[in-house]
Amino acid sequence: MRHMATLILMRHGQSMWNAANLFTGWVDVPLTNKGIEEAIEGGKEISSLPIDEVHVSTLVRAQMTAMLALAQHESGKTPIFQYSKNDESMSENESRMVEWAQSNDTGENTIPVYVSWQLNERMYGDLQGLDKQETRDKFGDDQVHIWRRSYDVPPPNGESLELTAARTIPYLQSSIIKSLEEGKNVFVAAHGNSLRSMVMSIEGLSKDEVLKLEIPTGKPIVYDRIDGGWQRR
């Protein structure tokens, strides 16, 4: 008997800094109206697919995308953010949510949402907040292209795709694939480069092949996990 579960990957809809042509990285900016529409349309595309749990980054543009997409789902289930760890490094806001944001719901009418910094976008370092065209004018098209698309050359004080993969792939293996192997269907809302690194791992892309990979905003990518392998729809 074939064991199958579904993995849905979706890049967030257009953010305000996407629209302004600024390097965003870990700067926490929301969606534009266009981004909201993209998230809704992406949600409609996956509305009939089974979803048992959701994984999002810590950044609001990914979380907005996930919530807007799930609002279109045929199940009508309520997504509930999970707060399950409490330690001394937590802020008072975080520890209070762990203590008080608990539900006695059986899970039949809800979908758990797990937040992970490992799914965040590449950290663009000194480029964050800069205009992309002005940066090209200053440093040259070739240098900016290397910073944006090279596998192992990071922007100044930022992350390369290789460094991004060093946090996303372990999370993919320990949390997402673990759930898939348990038969759970998983929806991930994240970012262009965090998802590029995951697709690279899933599809076995080379360093050269991943440079050409583009992840459009608000467009779901769907895989079936079958007997330990992957099949893209």
Number of domains the chain contains: 1
* Marked catalytic residue, from 12, 55, 73, 191: 12
Domain of residue 161, CATH code: 3.40.50.1240
Confidence (pLDDT) at 105: 79
pTM for the whole structure: 0.94
Confidence (pLDDT) at 2: 61
Confidence (pLDDT) at 1: 45
- Candidates 219, 223, 232, 229; CA nearest to 189 is 219
**Boundaries of domain holding 22:** 4-232
* Marked catalytic residue, from 38, 53, 73, 121: 121
Ranges of residues in the chain whose predicted pLDDT is under 50:
1
**Residue 121 bears catalytic tag:** yes
